[in-house]
Structure 1
């Protein structure tokens, strides 16, 4: 009789995997509104160095402080991702990644919350995907400014359906009294995407000050290239941009 692979349980749609990984103060302001992106191979030390170099050049943060914080974040995220994967998937699940560091200056774009769920990033090829256990998730940390707004997972939140079909102001009013997750800047969070119970979240009101938001999503090279294609990226975009 053929052996079957025992699958780990489906990960919860949201988790705080570490509290406040940022030294104080890590940075207090940014110079310009910019974004660092990497779609490509995952190398913890190289990515932490490239992103820290870019971010230090656009803020009052030091390379050393940013580098250590990003190393901690990427290590925590990668370790958690591998731990949640089924044994056959562990070797490839952190083969590649999408890392982004968004550096915002004050803006009223999110004075009204943009409540949404993250949709499908790529076609998952992991063991048990047909059973909707999808182990992939996005990891995020806020290094400066207000934390992400997150609704408490609940049957009521799960029953909201497709949020994009509702007017933003109408949805914000409807969700104003929904309980929210207590999360702070510096906390490392994990949240699922492409699922009916994926966390409902929004950017905070960034009109009150600068904000630096870092996120990473892992997958095999095939999966991340699939995501790049879905996002309209070209093959030559594989790697980091702008260059550190």
Structure 2
């Protein structure tokens, strides 16, 4: 089983996605976030027309935007990134993705960093654990094991520059914390004991990595990064107590990979799009 071939890129890399020919957004976008919420789409690459035209996006996007964003339409900031992402994804032989846009109000939840490596989205063992069963399907030839992400508003995600060293620290801290609780052997994500252990790991990692060198994407930059045990980039959300944030996360994949993950979560409709954190009244207006 191998990673989709991207031989010229390391475990993570900042990539500029704006070209000199791009139509510049307003000098100072006046975006106001009304509530913490998210919009997600899973399916073929979304059709894009012009940098300011969002009519080709699903109806749920407009419902989410109306409930969440005021001021400059987000599409003016989103389109340059999506255009770049589409070309990047197609260059690897893929043409489907899982994209989430998350808008956040200021919060102190990440004043303590949450250093972690993202799970391998299409790893069969991870999906079997998610559903509480065993993986029974045949072995894949390849699977997609990387992401693209950017921040349209607010601070960028923090990436540890020494990925190998940070992964070793992550592993050793997890081992030490678990060893301190030998009676707890459960691995379920819904277990309160696991949640307590995760919080202990988070605090210990924040201390161990407090002096780690980090990089963050700036305006017009996105980050390519690998996911999964042994290759994933160690990263954390930035402090978000000083302002609002709009984060975009893209998980590319083959159609069958994405359909399988959605099926494991009980979502059979394809393509699929939905919102979280949007009051029901906005959906009634849409109807």
The normalised TM-score by structure 1 is 0.77
Does residue 76 of structure 1 match 2:84?
yes
Q: 2:202 & 2:270 partners in 1: Cα distance?
A: 32
Aligned to 2:64: 54
Coordinate RMSD, CA, aligned: 3.1
Alpha-carbon shift at residue 237 of structure 1 (Å): 7.4
Summarize the alignment of residues 213-228 of structure 1 with structure 2, pairs less than 5 Å apart: 213-228=247-262
Rg larger in 1 or in 2? 2
Give the 3 Å change call, closer, same or farther, for CA 176–15 of structure 1 in structure 2: same
Alpha-carbon shift at residue 110 of structure 1 (Å): 0.9
Q: 2:66 & 2:166 partners in 1: Cα distance?
A: 38
- Secondary structure, counterpart of 1:206 in structure 2: coil
Give the 3 Å change call, closer, same or farther, for CA 73–220 of structure 1 in structure 2: same
Alpha-carbon shift at residue 53 of structure 1 (Å): 6.6
5+ long unaligned stretches in structure 1? 1-6
Alpha-carbon shift at residue 49 of structure 1 (Å): 8.6
Q: 1:234 aligns with which of 243, 247, 267?
A: 267
Alpha-carbon shift at residue 25 of structure 1 (Å): 2.4
Q: 1:211 aligns with which of 245, 267, 286?
A: 245
Q: Is the 8 A contact 2:18 2:81 kept in 1?
A: no
Give the 3 Å change call, closer, same or farther, for CA 80–52 of structure 1 in structure 2: farther
5+ long unaligned stretches in structure 2? 49-55, 125-137, 178-200, 276-282
Q: Is the 8 A contact 1:10 1:135 kept in 2?
A: no
Aligned to 2:102: 102
Give the 3 Å change call, closer, same or farther, for CA 182–71 of structure 1 in structure 2: closer
Most deviating of 208-217 and 147-156: 147-156
Give the 3 Å change call, closer, same or farther, for CA 212–182 of structure 1 in structure 2: closer
Does residue 141 of structure 1 match 2:150?
yes
Alpha-carbon shift at residue 197 of structure 1 (Å): 2.6
Q: Is the 8 A contact 1:192 1:198 kept in 2?
A: yes
Q: 1:44 & 1:203 partners in 2: Cα distance?
A: 30
Summarize the alignment of residues 1-244 of structure 1 with structure 2, pairs less than 5 Å apart: 9=7, 11-18=9-16, 23=25, 24-45=27-48, 46-47=56-57, 51=61, 54-55=64-65, 57-63=67-73, 66-83=74-91, 85=92, 90=93, 93-94=94-95, 96-123=96-123, 129=142, 136-162=145-171, 166=177, 167-230=201-264, 232-236=265-269, 238-242=271-275
Alpha-carbon shift at residue 228 of structure 1 (Å): 2.2
Q: Is the 8 A contact 1:20 1:184 kept in 2?
A: no
Give the 3 Å change call, closer, same or farther, for CA 34–154 of structure 1 in structure 2: closer
Aligned residues: 223
Q: 2:57 & 2:162 partners in 1: Cα distance?
A: 32
The normalised TM-score by structure 2 is 0.67
